[in-house]
Chains A and B, each alone.
Chain A
Amino acid sequence: MKKEKTGMSVAKHIGEFSGKYGIVLIFVLLVAVAAILQPVFLHPRNITNVLRQVSVNGILATGMTFVIISGAIDLSVGTIFCMCGMVMMFVMPRTGWMGAILVGLILGAMIGCCNGYMVYRGMPAFIMTLAMSILLKGCSFILSNGTPIASSSTTYNALGQSYFLKVPVQVYIYFLIVIVATIVLGRTRFGRSVYAIGGNIEVARLSGINVKKTRILVYIISGVLAAISAVIGTARLGSCEPTLGEDYHSDAIAATVIGGTLMSGGEGHQMKTMVGVLLLGVLSNILNLTGVTPYAQYVVKGLIIIGAVASDIFRRVKMN
C-alpha cells in the first residue's frame, strides 16, 4: 500500500499525541482553569492539601490498575480498606502499632489471595469481589458492633497527620508506591505477565506464563495496597468505623479508567492512573473552593468521568 505524505501524517501525529497525552492535557487545562477561577488554588498549602486528600484513593487506584490491566476488576478494595482498618484498631491495644499494621497487611494479602484464587478458578471477577465486599462489610460490623473504634497509638496516628518538609507523610508513601508499581509493571517479568493475561489469557498460558501465580499475585497486591491505604486513612482520622471506605472502589476505578486503562485489560499505565487520581482530586478541590454543594459535586464528577472516558473511547473507535 502507498503512503500519503505530509498533510495526512501531520494530522496523524497530532492525533497520536493527543491520544497519548490527552488526559494530561485535560489535567493541565483543569489546573489552569482552577488557578484563574481561584488564585488560592496555587497556594502551596492548598496543593499539599490536595495531595494529602488524594493519597488514599491514589494507593487504591494503583492496586486497581494492576487488576484492571490483568483483565479483571476488584470491587472489594473499599471494604478490604474498612476491614483492615477495623482489625488494626481492634488489635492495636495488644500488639502495638507496628504489630497492628503487620496484621492489617497480612489480612489484606489473605483476602486478595482468596479473591485471586477464586477468579483464577473461573469465578467472574465482578461477582467474586462483589460478594467478598458484602461479606467483609458484615465482618466489619460484627467486629465493631456497628460503632467506631479509636486508635490507641499516637505514633500510628502520626502516619496520617504529620509532615516532613512541609509535605504530609502519606504523600511520600503514595509517591513511593507509584514509583515502585511503575517499575514492577513496566520493567519486570511479572508486570509483563499482568499485561499478557489481560491481553489474552490463552496466549499467555501457551507462552509459558504462569497464569495462576500472576492472577493471585495481582489480587494480593490490590489487597495489600488497600491495607496500606487503610493505615493512612485511619491514622488520619485516629479511628475507624464500619461504614468507612464503602464506595472507595468507585473512585479507584474512575481514576484508573480516566487514566486510559482499558477495562478489557492488557493496556494501561500507573503514571496515567496517577494523573487520573490527581484530576479527580483537583476537581473536588476546585468545587469546594468555589462553593459548589457536595450534592452537585457528585453530578459534576459523574459528568467529568463520562466525558473523559468517552472522548478517549470515541477517538479509539474512530482510529480503528
Chain B
Amino acid sequence: MAEAPQILELRNICKSFPGVKALDNVSISLNKGEIVGLVGENGAGKSTLMKVLTGVYSMDSGEIILEGQRVKINSPIVGREMGINIVYQELSVLRNLTVAENLFLGNLKTTKSGLVDWKAMQAEAVDALKTMDLDIDVNTPMRNLSIAQCQMVEICRACVVNQCKVLVMDEPTSSLVDKEIEYMFQIMMDLKEKGITIIYITHKLDELFRITDRVFVLKDGANSGQMVTAECTKDDIILAMVGRDLGHYYPVHDGKRGKPVLEVRNLCQGDRVKNVSFTAYAGEILGFAGLIGAGRTETMMSIFGAMPDVSGEVLMEGKAVRFKHPQEAIQAGVALAPEDRKNQGLVQIFSIMHNTTLANMKGILNQFGFLDLKKEEDVANHYIKVLNTATPDAFKRVRELSGGNQQKIIVGKWLFTDAKVLIFDEPTKGIDVGAKVEIYRLMRELANGGVAVIMVSSELPEVIGVSDRIMVMHDGELKGELSSEEATENRIMQMAIGGAHT
C-alpha cells in the first residue's frame, strides 16, 4: 500500500504545569486521510497534547509541523484557521441558538453594511448539512436535537464550514447509543474518504479496531506505544496503556446468591417507569441493560426516593418501605452512585475527606455531637487505602482528580454508609481501563461480602461480563431477564429495542 503523504507531525512536545510534567517529549505523526486512535489512562496527557495542538495551551518546547511547514499555534482561532479542529466530549454548542447559527458560530456571514446576512447563512447551512447527508432543519434550535445530532452538527461545523484538514474527536461516542455510534463511524469513514485526518480519542478499546488505522498510546505524559491496528490485539494496547498485565478483564463470578434484600413490585414513575418488578439478592450483581432513555436511571432514582410521582411497592429485607427522600433510603441501607459524577456524585470544590463522609456525617460525630475532623480524616484515608485511590492526601479537592479516582471517592462515600444495596449507575463511564478493572473487582468483592449490587450499564460487554443476572429495559418497561450464561449482545439488544419477551 502506498504511503499517504504526511500531513501533521508533533515533534518532542514538552509541557509542564506547576509541579507536574504533563508532556515529556511526546511525538506523533499523521498521514493524510487516516484515522489514528489516541489512547491512554486518564492523566496520561491525551487532553493536554490535544490542547497544545489546537492552541489552547502553549508548549514549553517542541515543534508542530503542518504540511511540511513549521507552524506556531498560539490560540484556538489560529489553530482553526490552519485547519485543525476539535470536537469535544462535552458538547460545545449553544443550545438556545439554531443549527445554522451554531454552524457559523465565530464567523458569522455579514452583508456589506456589517449586519448579519441570515439568508446567505441559511442557504450555506443547508448545503453544508447536505454534504454530510444530515437531515436536520437548519432553523431548529439546538436544544431540540439529540446529543448525537448535536455532535453531527459540530462535526459538520469543523469539517464543512471550517474546512479542517485535521479533526480531533475527544470521546465522541461516550454519550451515544449503539445505532448512533454506527452512524458516527459511517460519517468518520466518509470524512476519511474526503482526505480528512482524524485523531480519535476513546476509552472504548473495541472501537479502535472498528475504525482506526493506527494507534498511539500515551502513558504518564510520554509515548508508550505506536501500533498498526490491524496487527495488534486489545491486550497489546492495554499493556502499553497501563504498563502491566491486567489479568482477567472481568472478575470471576464466584459469589453465592444469598437472601433477597431489595424487592420492587410494580414500580411506576410518571410515564418513564412502567410496572417494574424485580428482586436484588445479597451476594449478587444484578445488571440493568437497555438503551439510553429506557428508564433505568429513573427506576433507580425512584427506589432511592429522589423522584416525584412514584407508585408501587418496595420491600427492604421483607419490610415494606417508602422512601420519600434519599435521606430515608440511605438510613435504610440503600446507596446510589449516580451516573453524572460531576453534577450528582461529588461536590467538586470539596476535599476528598468531606466528600467521603457527606452521606454519613453521623459516623464521624464525637461524644458531644460535633464533627470529629481527626476521625473524618482517618475514615477518608482508610477508603483511599482500601480503594487504592491515587492522591497525596485526603485534603485534595476532588475536582483535581481523574474520572477513575473520582469514582473511587464516590464508592468510598457509599461504603462508609454500610449500605446493603449498592446501586451503580454507569460506574465506568469515561474512566480508563485500569480503573475500570478495579471497579469491576470491587463490585464483585462487595457482592461476595454480602451486599446486593445493582449495576446500570449501557456497555453490553460490561453488563455481560460483570453481572450474574441481567434485566433489560425498554421504554420504561422490563423486557426480560437473562442469566449471565444465556446473555449475548444480540439477545440483549433484541430486548432493548423492544423485541419479544423471552
Contacts and interface: CB of A to CB of B under 8 A. Distances in A.
A102 interface: no
A11 interface: yes
Contacts of B502: none
Interface residues of B, number: 39
B20 A203 contact: no
A293 interface: no
Interface in A145-186: 183, 186
Contacts of B330: 207-208
Given A1-B21, A4-B20, A208-B359, 20 more contacts: A1-B221, A2-B221, A3-B19, A4-B19, A8-B19, A12-B18, A188-B369, A189-B362, A193-B361, A195-B347, A195-B350, A196-B358, A199-B350, A205-B306, A206-B304, A207-B326, A207-B330, A207-B358, A207-B413, A208-B330
Given A192-B371, A196-B358, A206 B338 contact: yes
A247 interface: no
Interface in A246-287: 262, 266-267
Interface size class of A (residues with CB under 8 A): 20 to 34
Given A203-B347, A207-B359, A208-B326, A188 B370 contact: yes
Contacts, number: 95
A267 B349 contact: yes
A240 to B, nearest CB: 38
A209 B16 CA distance: 40
Contacts of B331: 208
A12 B19 contact: yes
B260 to A, nearest CB: 24
A25 to B, nearest CB: 21
A183 B370 CA distance: 9
B16 A203 contact: no
Contacts of A196: 347, 350, 358
A187 interface: yes
Contacts of B43: 1
A187 to B, nearest CB: 4
B343 A4 contact: no
Interface of A: 1-4, 8-9, 11-12, 183, 186-189, 191-193, 195-196, 199-200, 202-210, 262, 266-267
B336 interface: yes
16 contacts: A1-B43, A2-B21, A2-B221, A4-B20, A4-B21, A8-B18, A196-B347, A196-B350, A202-B343, A203-B344, A206-B326, A206-B344, A208-B327, A208-B329, A208-B331, A208-B359
A2 B370 contact: no
Given A8-B19, A208-B359, A187 B371 contact: yes
Nearest to A319: B18
A189 B336 CA distance: 21
B349 A199 contact: yes
Contacts of B344: 202-203, 206
Nearest to A8: B19
B325 interface: yes
Interface in B26-45: 43
Contact of A210 (B327, B336, B369): B327
B44 to A, nearest CB: 9
Interface in B155-171: none
Given A2-B24, A207-B326, A192 B18 contact: no
A192 B24 contact: no
Nearest to A183: B370
Interface of B: 16, 18-22, 24, 43, 220-221, 304, 306, 325-327, 329-331, 336, 338, 343-350, 354, 358-359, 361-362, 365, 369-371, 373, 413
A199 B343 CA distance: 10
B21 A266 contact: no
A12 B24 CA distance: 21
A3 B349 CA distance: 23
Enumerate the 10 nearest inter-chain pairs by beta-carbon distance, A residue then B residue, closest first: A199-B347, A208-B327, A208-B330, A207-B359, A187-B370, A189-B361, A207-B358, A1-B20, A200-B347, A2-B21
Nearest to A2: B21
Contacts of A203: 343-347, 358
B413 A199 contact: no
Contacts of B21: 1-2, 4
A209 B221 contact: no
A229 B349 CA distance: 32
A85 to B, nearest CB: 34
A188 B306 CA distance: 25
A227 B291 CA distance: 56
Contact of B348 (A9, A12, A200, A262): A200
A82 to B, nearest CB: 35
B220 A1 contact: yes
A191 B338 CA distance: 24
A68 to B, nearest CB: 14
A262 B397 CA distance: 15
B413 to A, nearest CB: 7
A246 to B, nearest CB: 34
A228 B237 CA distance: 67
Contacts of A1: 20-22, 43, 220-221
Contacts of B325: 208, 210
Count chain A CB atoms within 10 A of each CB in B329, B338, B358 and give the residue with the most.
B358
A192 B354 contact: yes
Contacts of B346: 200, 203
